[in-house]
Structure 1
Amino acid sequence: MLDVIRSLKSLLKTSRVRIDNNVFRLHYTITVVVLLAFTIVVSMKQFVGDPIDCLKSREVTDTFINTFCWIHTTFTMPSAYDKVVGKEVPYPGVGSINESTDELKYHKYYQWVCFMLFFQAALFYIPRGLWKLWEGGKIQALMMDLDIGMCGEAEKKQKKKLLVDYLTSSQRHHDWYAARYFICESLAFANVVGQMFLMNRFFDGEFLTYGLEVIRFSEMDQNDRLDPMIRVFPRVAKCKMYKYGSSGNLETHDAMCLLPLNIVNEKIYIFLWFWFIMLAALTGMVLVCRVILIACPPVRVYYLNFRFRTVHLDHLHTVVRRGSLGDWFLIYMLGQNIDVVIFKEVVADLANRMTRAPKDSTA
């Protein structure tokens, strides 16, 4: 299992060509790797180990009752969570059942956790796959190995000229390119927020406040607190099975089941709760920055200046003022991928060309 998890490191390898930002990269690298690793851990425990162990009467075999309760789900009693363990109940949520008054909460998610985690990993990769398809290798084609500063002067001069020629001739034709990337960033944000609600649905409305409940639990007095992870991921639950007895009468078998798999599940989902909250916050801040950049062209200049301090500010003013949002975005992407000295020269040549060109030619 450890060998399989180590093989996931290949997903963390950074590409030579950067076509997105660090926050967007968190969605399809670290998050996908973490979810796939969790999928492997849960699958190994569920399908190779012993995910459930039920205490039952002598008339039913261990294998039969364990398989039955795993397939048909277990349940707990919300009314038994507040009772004294060892005096009124044997375990929180497990007690004697009054058919007429007691409410039962069935737990049927645990058979599907490994499939759910894999599905979530696939959802996190979709925005990346879509952007990679739309991007089409454009940045890699425009780089022309200019990320390597050590090249011949004649070769460097020729490649810079080709790049500046392209940027000049295609001016104001990159807006849809930028829009597609912003769409993919928005999809990434919608995905992480949507997955919070998806998991809340998966756990019957318990997930959205799960992390807050765990924080509140850690601050409570030792004698008064009830671990919220036990309520969402019970380690001991009940199972009821009916069968015919030797005389043909219908018999009821009430079993108490140990769910060791939930020890793993509770740790996985408390980590995912905090990770998704952090990821949603970071992605939300990036989208706010995008809105500001779209609405305020002067901010684009200072954003480029902050990111690429070697480039002359007047040249950045010229390039941004005479270009569109798409032109700015393409220049920003190129700046992430080519050598800083070469990028400075490319922006200077582009600004000089724009200054010499008639203003109405770029309209």
Structure 2
Amino acid sequence: MLDIFRGLKNFIKVSHVHIDSSVFRLHYSITVMILLAFSLIVTTRQYVGNPIDCIHAKEIPEDVINTYCWIHSTYTIPSAFNKRLGIDVAHPGIEKSQDEEEKRYVKYYQWVCFCLFFQAICFYAPRWMWKNWEGGKIHALMMDLDVGICSEVEKKQKKKLLLDYLADNLKHHNWWAYRYFFCELLAFLNVVGQMFLIDRFLGNTFLTFGLDVIKFMEDDQEMRIDPMIFVFPRMTKCSFSKFGSSGELEKYDSLCILPINIVNEKIYIFLWFWFLLLVFLTFFVLLYRLMIILSPRMRAYLLCLRFRLINKEVINTIVRKSKMGDWFLFYMLGQNVDTLIFKEVMHELAKRLGHASKDFGEP
């Protein structure tokens, strides 16, 4: 198990250059690592054993019936989940049935690893788009100014280059910032879409899965039906047909144990709560971005709150003379550049924006 996570540790490495928000990193770093780890776990027999074992007649080889039932899917009888275990039925969801409409086929289990891998790709896609659109701008503008210890000559040269760029390209960063906001919106739409995708994948049972599990824990023990066993049955039925020695069609019913579902149920109950957390966090981030776009006063307040060493009048001047995209660039630079150097750059920039004679004091 540890070897699996060691191979995925690169996804949670934190870069020293921050070009996005912490919530955005949850999508492409932690979530991708979790999904890939789950995808590998369900394909490793060392942890789940044989994915299916069927009780079969002696006339049918064991490998044949197991492979057939794995490929062609198995089924349960939903009405049998409401019956008394050990009295009316031998196992939850297992009962004799001649009506095809009563059967609920379990078809997803052979596709779980592929679905999880596809989801990991989808979660990484917004990060890939933003990394290409950002183009290393923040790293280039930093010029190693995140290290405050350097010679005065070198510091002065790099500060001048940074100031020249910020002053000459003022009001030209809106499109750059909007593309990042679009990637955050895409991440939100992706996680919501993933919940509906899994719901469809599991037969319209995932959207309320977590709530059903919580309700199951609170219900009376004699009346409750375990939703994890209903969605991920551990015992199912499988019908196998073949021709007999005289050419007559012979039908065999088998009971099949699905050890893989012990793992699947834990995976998807975790994903239900994790995706719900991501939905709420990303939704509030999008509201935060909307306020930033619409309110210059909010942009000034956030800069004052985040960078307390910068004079408030300096911040008000810069926000008033710039656009939203410039603010986003300043905010990203402030997270990466040394605090004192960033303060000096902002004070010098404010002077270049028409306040050369103004003496900004310490806050």
TM-score (ref. length: structure 1): 0.96
Q: CA deviation at 1:98?
A: 2.9
Structure 2 counterpart of 1:138? 137
1:107 lines up with 2:106 in the alignment: yes
Cα distance between partner residues in 2 of 1:307 and 1:105: 55
Aligned partner of residue 146 in structure 1, secondary structure: coil
Equivalent position amino acid for 1:324 in 2: K
Structure 1 counterpart of 2:229? 230
Question: 2:195·2:275 contact (CA, 8 Å) conserved in 1?
Answer: yes
Q: CA deviation at 1:7?
A: 1.7
Cα distance between partner residues in 2 of 1:250 and 1:183: 60
Q: CA deviation at 1:48?
A: 8.6
Structure 1 counterpart of 2:151? 152
Q: Give the 3 Å change call, closer, same or farther, for CA 37–130 of structure 1 in structure 2.
A: same
Q: CA deviation at 1:165?
A: 1.0
1:122 lines up with 2:128 in the alignment: no
Structure 2 counterpart of 1:52? 52
Equivalent position amino acid for 1:120 in 2: Q
Structure 2 counterpart of 1:18? 18
Equivalent position amino acid for 2:93 in 1: G
Within 5 A, what are the aligned runs for 1:19-98? 19-45=19-45, 49-98=49-98
Within 5 A, what are the aligned runs for 1:192-271? 192-271=191-270
Q: CA deviation at 1:73?
A: 0.1
Cα distance between partner residues in 1 of 2:333 and 2:153: 21
Query: Bigger shift: 304-313 or 252-261?
Result: 304-313
Q: Give the 3 Å change call, closer, same or farther, for CA 33–254 of structure 1 in structure 2.
A: same
Within 5 A, what are the aligned runs for 1:156-167? 156-167=155-166
Question: 2:48·2:263 contact (CA, 8 Å) conserved in 1?
Answer: no
After TM superposition, where is structure 1 displaced by more than 6 Å over at least 4 residues in a row?
none
Cα distance between partner residues in 1 of 2:239 and 2:95: 13
Cα distance between partner residues in 1 of 2:234 and 2:304: 55
Question: 2:78·2:93 contact (CA, 8 Å) conserved in 1?
Answer: yes
**What's the Cα RMSD here?**
1.4
Question: 1:128·1:184 contact (CA, 8 Å) conserved in 2?
Answer: yes
Q: CA deviation at 1:158?
A: 1.4
Structure 2 counterpart of 1:2? 2
Aligned partner of residue 241 in structure 1, secondary structure: strand
Within 5 A, what are the aligned runs for 1:252-331? 252-331=251-330
Q: Give the 3 Å change call, closer, same or farther, for CA 233–46 of structure 1 in structure 2.
A: farther
Equivalent position amino acid for 1:198 in 2: L
Q: CA deviation at 1:129?
A: 0.3
Aligned partner of residue 43 in structure 1, secondary structure: coil
Q: CA deviation at 1:49?
A: 3.5
TM-score (ref. length: structure 2): 0.96
Q: CA deviation at 1:46?
A: 9.2
> C-alpha offsets along residues 220-248 of structure 1, whole Å, 9 cap, x if unaligned?
12222111011110000000111111222
Cα distance between partner residues in 2 of 1:271 and 1:14: 24
Cα distance between partner residues in 2 of 1:152 and 1:327: 28
Aligned partner of residue 160 in structure 1, secondary structure: helix
Q: CA deviation at 1:63?
A: 1.1
